[in-house]
Amino acid sequence: MKEPEVSVQNLNWPTALYETLKAANVQHMAYVPDAGHTELINLLNNDAQVITNVLTTEEEGIAIATGTWLGGLRSVVLMQSSGVGNCINMLSLPVQSRTPLLMLVTMRGEWNEFNPWQVPMGKATQASLEAIGVTVLRAETPQDIVEITEQAITMAFEADGQIAVLLSQRLLGKKTW
């Protein structure tokens, strides 16, 4: 009997992303609250096996992820593209020390953006990360996200890479206020 195909529209990518992180033994999350990450944040916050830190600014997450790795745990840092600019100086820590870093970055300033203040950093996010030495992967569709995140996990935790997965604004959907 042929298995039914899973509809992309029915794919709950935040849950799939959570399961991918759990399968990779990610036990720590540092985050700045963000609507695009809300479901993933809730899943990780409700998991008794995951330690979480709410950040006051994104660069704290980079330092905490580095310390978490030195303490023997795998971490993920969640932020919005506007927060990437806050991290540029701090990103020298994992880049220079070759400490694994996994970031999931929700994009703003792209498709269907209503807030013009988000556009400049949205345009500069990938180039800024790459200029400091972070490898950037990008998920455009729900079906991309698991495969790309699995690749990012391998690159970060098995090859001591500093990896950012950009979650496109089109994937997240139009923000409304």
Q: 39 lies in which domain range?
A: 8-172
Q: Which helix (H) or strand (E) holds 62?
A: helix 58-70
CATH number at residue 22: 3.40.50.970
Mean pLDDT of all residues in the chain? 88
pLDDT tens-digit map of 112-125? 766 667 766 778 89
More confident residue, 170 or 66: 66
pLDDT tens-digit map of 129-177? 999 999 999 998 888 999 999 999 999 999 999 999 999 877 766 666 5
Contact 102, 156 (CB under 8 A): yes
In-domain check, residue 3: no
How many angstroms separate the CA atoms of 61 and 127, rounded? 20
How many angstroms separate the CA atoms of 76 and 161, rounded? 13
In-domain check, residue 49: yes
The structure tokens listed for 25 are: 């033994």
In-domain check, residue 144: yes
**Number of domains into which the chain is organized:** 1
